[in-house]
Amino acid sequence: MPFANLKVPADTLTPESKQKLIDAVTDAYAAVYGERARANTLVLVDEVAEGGWGLGGTVLTADMLGGRS
């Protein structure tokens, strides 16, 4: 079963934009593995709370990671 776990800043995506991400990842797996993979592709969108990101020892905010929608 193809599996993708996407980590995004909390409260930065609308339900519609989450659906777009899920559709795009599912389409990508189907393009590589064939349509048989579509029905079994699992995509998780995890929303990471403010302050839950770090890069190089620096805590990143949602604004630094792409803002809020």
Look up 2 and say whether it is catalytic. yes
Q: Whole-prediction pTM value? A: 0.81
**Three state DSSP letters for the chain:** CCEEEEEEECCCCCHHHHHHHHHHHHHHHHHHHCHHHHHHCEEEEEEECCCCEEECCEEECCCCCCCCC
Among 9, 1, 4, smallest CA distance to 61 is for 9
**pLDDT at residue 57, as a whole number:** 93
Instruction: Taking residues 26-35, report their average pLDDT.
Output: 97
Catalytic residue among 2, 52, 53, 65: 2
Domain formed by 3-60, architecture: 2-Layer Sandwich (3.30)
Each residue's pLDDT tens digit, 34-66: 999 999 999 999 999 988 888 899 998 877 776
The answer, yes or no, to whether residue 68 has pLDDT greater than 90, is no
**pLDDT at residue 67, as a whole number:** 60
